[in-house]
Amino acid sequence: MASKDAAPEAAGAPPKKRDRTHFLYIFVIVAVLAGIAVGFAFPDFATALKPLGTGFVNLIKMMISPVIFCTIVLGVGGVRQAAKVGKVGGLALGYFLVMSFVALVVGLLVGNVLHPGEGLQLTDELRASGSDQAPGEAEGLSGFLIGIIPNTLVSALTEGEVLQTLLVALLAGFALQALGDKGTPILRGIEHIQRLVFKILAMVMWVAPIGAFGAIAAVVGATGVDALKGLGVIMAGFYITCLLFIFLVLGPLLWAFARVSVFKLLGYLGREFLLILSTSSSEAALPRLIAKMEHLGVSKPVVGITVPTGYSFNLDGTAIYLTMASLFIASAMGEPLALGEQISLLVFMIIASKGAAGVSGAGLATLAGGLQSHRPELVDGVGLIVGIDRFMSEARALTNFAGNAIATVIIGSWTKEIDREQMQRVFAKEDPFNEQSFLDEEESSAAGGDSGKEPVAAK
């Protein structure tokens, strides 16, 4: 009888946890609406609330490096064949390169059809704000490659550089592979650290309503409605292009290669999209994407390599933004770009944008830097879109996030590192994601098992 009584009690515990997090995201929605209202009613006061949003995003960024480090080390270190990791990384980088090119082409086509920017006037004030966005020096390819190497083994974790953390984690993972059984205690320790990191992250998420309120109130208070009227074409065109890219390009690819519905996958990530929408940063949802992809049934090595790498190289939304924004500025200043100039400029920008996917406002700096290096006379035109960049950065972040989620499932399908039965259970809501710990209960209970197994995908 005791066991029968215990079963319902155990089965009843998870729903209570899920209910609490359900309320959290209701609070986020309410906070966003309240922020919009305050922004319109009290613009000066609302602008002063910006530190609330910045503080929340910084709290999330604080967790990025440890999450990536633990995930990659456990994923790579738990695989006995190094070739398997190389295969995943090679497929991921190849896929990212192709999709970035496709995104460029889509942006070029839409931009050349809409001809955004015609008839706009560039004031002296806007010229100054545009010039302020340009960096002092353009970082070349050699600078980019050198920048991947951290100053010390530990500084990659303390400075928050995604690519540096990725490099150190890969080195640590391969070293643990070489150690064999002697490395097992270290893997166990990192598993415990990962659980601690995800628990802290779950606690930080309860500050999301405050951060969302401050971020939305500040941007509405600073821009208002008047600043958006003359720029409606570029905004509408950009949002529509991002939607078309997700559902008409990425969606069919996901179905063709993985037999997964894009609507089911994006529905599963609904809370993450809400978080990105309220903070305007895809980086805020990076830890949750890693945890959710593992819960969905994609193996640790695939998730650990594809997701962090994608945040630096799989910039679909950023590619579309840079394309359309460049055409917009050139057209507005009466100096349209020839096709050859468009291609050379935008390829340079994609290379230069590397880690811009997760940081709000980084796309604007990348745009200014690219124009400065290729067509300096167009840099002043960046001021035309400074006022709406925040709204466009939300679409950028959402598209980048969706692209990385879809890429992870596709790479998992190509490498046969995906548990179809687990995926069906998740989509059928038979195995809900653990919002309290970000870890599967079965994974936690299996902490003493063989590190060579992928806990989630092996269910």
Higher pLDDT, 335 or 239: 239
Q: In this predicted structure, what is the pLDDT of residue 4?
A: 43
Structure token digits, residue 170: 């890969």
Checking if the pLDDT of 361 tops 80, the result is: no
The rounded mean pLDDT for the chain is: 74
What DSSP line would sit under 6-46, residue for residue? HHHHHHHHHHHHHHHHHHHHHHHHHHHHHHHHHHHH-HHHH
pLDDT at 262 exceeding the cut of 90: yes
Is the pLDDT reported for residue 36 higher than 90? Answer: no
Mean pLDDT for the stretch of residues 28-57: 82
Tokens of 400: 């980048």
Residue 445 pLDDT grade (very low, low, confident, very high; cuts 50, 70, 90): very low
* Residue 419 reports pLDDT greater than 80: yes
pLDDT at 3: 42
Mean pLDDT value across residues 2-27:
52
pLDDT band at 98 (very low <50, low <70, confident <90, very high): confident
* Residue matched to tokens 């002296």: 124
In the chain, % of residues over pLDDT 70 = 69
Apex CA 134: angle with CA 131 and CA 137, to 5°?
Answer: 135
The pair of structure tokens assigned to 209 is 């309503």
Listed residue (68, 436, 76) closest to 286, CA to CA: 68
Lowest mean pLDDT among 89-93, 133-137, 241-245: 133-137
Q: Per-residue pLDDT averaged across 147-151, rounded?
A: 80
Confidence of residue 402 (pLDDT cuts 50, 70, 90): very high
Q: How confident is the model at residue 321 (pLDDT cuts 50, 70, 90)?
A: confident
pLDDT tens digits for 103-139? 888 888 887 777 655 555 444 444 444 444 445 444 5
Cβ atoms of 263 and 376 within 8 Å: the answer is: no
pLDDT of residue 92: 85
Mean pLDDT within 76-96: 74
For residues 383 and 61, the model is more confident at: 61
Query: In this predicted structure, which of 79-93, 110-124, 179-193, 435-449 has the lowest mean pLDDT?
Result: 435-449
Tokens for 105, please give them. Answer: 């082409």
Three-state secondary-structure class, residue 45: helix
Higher pLDDT, 354 or 39: 39
* Residue that wins the pLDDT comparison between 423 and 383: 423
Q: Mean pLDDT throughout 3-29?
A: 54
pLDDT tens-place string over residues 269-314: 988 888 887 776 677 788 888 889 989 999 888 888 888 878 777 8
Residue 456: the pLDDT is: 39
- Residue pointed to by tokens 């940063």: 281
Q: Please write the tens of the pLDDT for every residue from 208-231.
A: 788 878 877 876 776 666 545 545
pLDDT reported for residue 366? 67
Specify whether the CB–CB gap between 286 and 64 falls below 8 A: yes
Element (H, E) at 197: helix 184-204
**Under DSSP, is residue 449 helix (H, G, I), strand (E, B) or coil?**
coil
When pLDDT is averaged across residues 340-359 and rounded to a whole number, the result is: 62
